[in-house]
Structure 1
Amino acid sequence: MTQELGPLARELSVSYYEDALPAHDQFHARRVRDVALRLARECDAAVDEDVLAAAAWLHDIGRPRERVGDIDDHDAWGATRAVELLEAEGVAPEHAAAVEHCIRAHSIRSSSPTPETIEAELLFDADKLDAAGARGLVRLACIVGERSGRAGERYAVIDDPSASDAPAPDRPDITLLREWAAERLDRLHTQPARRLGESRRQFMDQFLDRFEREAGLDGEA
């Protein structure tokens, strides 16, 4: 292998994101890569940044297939496919295996293994941080749109489910944003990620408090 692992993984990943929706596209992968490397440089532990960058680029390559029902678990499928892609390019098996573990352990699903390496912890943390802060709020809204958009509507309904004839959710979508962000931030592994997460949590709390006031969700006009 003559090419660095991170750039190679980026090239290998691009075609898999062609049908991705905005919340899990190649730009999400790039943001996760950037934040993961930032966190790595703030860690006391030694980090293999090549493995980390490669795992970030490849971690969601299975998302488009999972979304349309072609596969059941994008973590497991993506991890296996990543190894196949990397080894076909001459990447050493130990490096491919390190990337594989990062991808398998990056999800908050109960079926996902616990991250057992610093690289896996950092990928997990960077992925979760992309659902926090100003940009994270936009991304979470995209995820809500993916899950609650109604057929025939151009936009998903965020704050007023009565605008659609579809059954109203159990609680306003704004509450889902709070809960999804908190669920992710509460599970961060590394100290640099927790510091960044706290800053982003504070911003989100302020923004969502104002959102609720403007939307009248807290009883105010």
Structure 2
Amino acid sequence: MVQELVPLARELSLPYYESALPAHDRYHANRVRTLSLRLADECEEPVDRAVLAAAAWLHDIGRPRERTGEIDDHDEWAATEAATLLGSESVSAERTEAITHCIRTHSIRASSPTPETIEAKLLFDADKLEATGARGLVRLACIVGERSGRAGEKYAVIENASVSGLERPDCPDVTLLREWARERLDRLYTSAGRSLGRSRWQFMTEFFTQFEREMGIEGEA
């Protein structure tokens, strides 16, 4: 008897997240699952919630390998790996294809295919919303920390620029966080995602205003 799809996907995904850093770990996968199902509740068209939840668990299983340079594209690798895993558990080809399409299209990178199904669009939106709001700011800071110092990558200086060996900027450079969040919100596909995105962007705007005040740019009230 084939194991229920969502618990199966969770079980299959967890070993891949053992070496993941905080921004793309199993907790992130679970939050994306929860948020994508929340968005699905507000969706007018039918959603295969099992496909959506399974894809959420599996969408970032390639991140640890991409981070260490073993693979170049965690989306494509994860989709291929997920197809193998699900096939070995006798998951139907139709459902496997639906899940791998979600995985293959969840990234914001230019080379990523466009989400075509409602499940893929919901997964994309939930993953991007994970980089917005209060929790998103913390997660974006984690991502910047992971990438800082890597050749060709942008980085943000919060207080001490000496570790980079570069000239200290006039003020802390957190504009990258704002740019990343705005870029993701501008790409959302669903009305439910855009609605939540507007609320989270309002908070982020207030945060950055307060940040600038604390750094003495405008002077704290």
After superposition, give the CA deviation of every residue in 1:31-84 in whole Å (9 maximum; x if it has no partner).
000000000011001000000000000000000000000000000000000010
TM-score (norm 1): 0.92
In the aligned structure 2, how far is the partner of 1:5 from the partner of 1:212? 47
Shift of 1:85: 0.4
Report the counterpart of residue 6 of structure 1 in structure 2.
Answer: 6
Identity %: 66
Query: Partners of 1:162 and 1:25 in 2: how far apart?
Result: 28
Aligned to 2:71: 71
Q: Deviations over 1:119-159 (max 9, x none)?
A: 00000000000000111011001011111269xxxxx9741
Task: Calculate the aligned-residue CA RMSD, in Å.
Answer: 2.0
Matches within 5 A, 1:11-160: 11-148=11-148, 158-160=157-159
CA distance in 2, matches of 1:2, 1:93: 13
CA shift for structure 1 position 167 = 2.2
**CA distance in structure 2 between the partners assigned to 1:72 and 1:161 by the alignment:** 31
Counterpart amino acid of residue 15 in structure 2: S
Residue matched to 1:192: 192
Unaligned regions of 5+ residues in structure 1, if any? 151-155
**Cα 1:148–1:220 shift into 2, 3 Å:** farther
Letter in 2 for 1:200: R
Greater mean alpha carbon deviation, residues 74-83 or residues 140-149:
140-149
Alignment length, in residue pairs?
215
Contact 1:161/1:168 (<8 A) preserved: no
| Aligned residue identity for 1:94 | E
Q: Distance in 2 between matches of 1:110 and 1:69?
A: 19
Offset at 1:168?
5.1
Give the secondary structure class of the aligned counterpart of 1:164: helix
Q: Segments of 4+ in structure 1 off by > 2 A?
A: 160-173, 218-221
1:153 corresponds in structure 2 to none
> 2:166 matched to 1:167?
yes
CA distance in 2, matches of 1:47, 1:205: 32
Letter in 1 for 2:79: A
Asked if structure 2 preserves the Cα contact closer than 8 Å seen for 1:87 and 1:96, the reply is yes
1:6 to partner: Cα distance: 1.1
Task: Calculate the TM-score normalised by the size of structure 2.
Answer: 0.92
TM-aligned CA distance change 1:65 to 1:8, over 3 Å: same
